[in-house]
Amino acid sequence: MNVLSLFDGMSCGQIALNNLGIKVDKYFASEIDKYAMEIAKKNFPDIIHVGNVEFVTKSMLNNKIDLIIGGSPCQGFSRAGKGLNFEDPRSKLFFEFVRLIKECRPKYFMLENVKMNKESRDIISEYLGVEPIYIDSALLSAQTRKRYYWTNIPNISEPIDKGVILKDIIQTTEELKGSEVDERMVTNKGKAYCLTARYSGATWWNSIERSQRTMIRIEDKVCFPEATKKGYVAAGIGQGIDIQYPNSQTRRGRLLKEKSHCIQAGSVNQGIINEKYNWRKLTPIECERLQTVPDNYTEGVSNSQRYRMLGNGWTIEVIKHILDKLKEK
């Protein structure tokens, strides 16, 4: 099988195919990020990088393509972005995916993208000729990551929940020995007067505390402000807290009991409460496990680059679930 992967990133598609035991003769990858390409090449030396998708043509590949896969840039569609949809130049790169399907005429294709409005979803469906299947990675991993998948691979259904939870992917104390860990001290005031609704009504020193360290330990819980009637969320050892936008007056759902939130390309603001009652940022290996990527797959570049490419990547178990049907063909 010859594969063309567009917007390939760190070659999540190749990880999935390799794990499924599907023989790949040639894997062409269109990518422009040097760090992602470096990691892909480290793990798959035979990968053939073909550069910017806008300049990829059937003639330059000089091979019959059996499968085209890709996740075109999502910033224009994502709720985390500005919601420009197809007005965002990055979103328009979807049409390069369409162009190469028409040129290469593969037997199968698969496109992944974020949750988006119905109008944009219908446009993509019209061009590809198929309706998407909506899959949450939480069914197969410890991460909530809701995505649409357009594919002409038949008989794709929602996967069965494997019951993977956050504590299953957390590195042990032994595994963390010798590692640099982003650990933040939590103030132990032992009093609950700072935990009024929205953290308001506090004394002057607590206002300073709120701006410098937003997490406070109360007995066996670590508390963090949240826009609810209670005004805060409390996490115990082994549970997580999302500290993105720490000064937000509207943020909810910060407590990570069983699943992490969707990791993003920009930064990782999710972490767990460790045995010292400190908040610890999720490590690159733990984020690899959230994406069901092999441990240390992204090793070799800075941690910031590792977090970024994992946030841009795919949940391998979801891609395996879809591509597994190819084994029946």
Q: Are strands 187-188 and 216-218 parallel, antiparallel or unpaired?
A: parallel
Share of the chain above pLDDT 90, in %: 53
Q: How confident is the model over 298-307, as pLDDT tens digits?
A: 999 999 999 9
Residue 91 in this model has a pLDDT that exceeds 70: no
Pull the structure tokens for residue 317: 């178990």
Average pLDDT in the 221-231 region?
A: 78
CA atoms within 13 A on the CB side of 171: 22
Residue whose token pair is 């590792």? 306
Output the pLDDT for position 187.
Answer: 58
Query: Model confidence at 156, in pLDDT bands (50, 70, 90)?
Result: very high
CB atoms within 10 A of CB 161: 10
Alpha-carbon distance of 110 to 260, in angstroms, equals 26
Q: Where are the domains of the chain?
A: 2-164+295-328, 182-282
Query: Model confidence at 233, in pLDDT bands (50, 70, 90)?
Result: confident
What's the whole-number average pLDDT of the chain?
83
To the query of whether residue 74 is one of the catalytic residues in this protein, the response is: yes
Average pLDDT in the 203-230 region?
A: 62
219 with 312: CB under 8 angstroms? no
Assign domain 2-164+295-328 to its CATH superfamily: Vaccinia Virus protein VP39 (3.40.50.150)
Catalytic residue among 74, 194, 262, 287: 74
Residue whose token pair is 């009991």? 257
Which amino acid is residue 228, in one-letter code? T
Query: Model confidence at 273, in pLDDT bands (50, 70, 90)?
Result: confident
Alpha-carbon distance of 170 to 282, in angstroms, equals 8
**Stated length of the chain:** 329
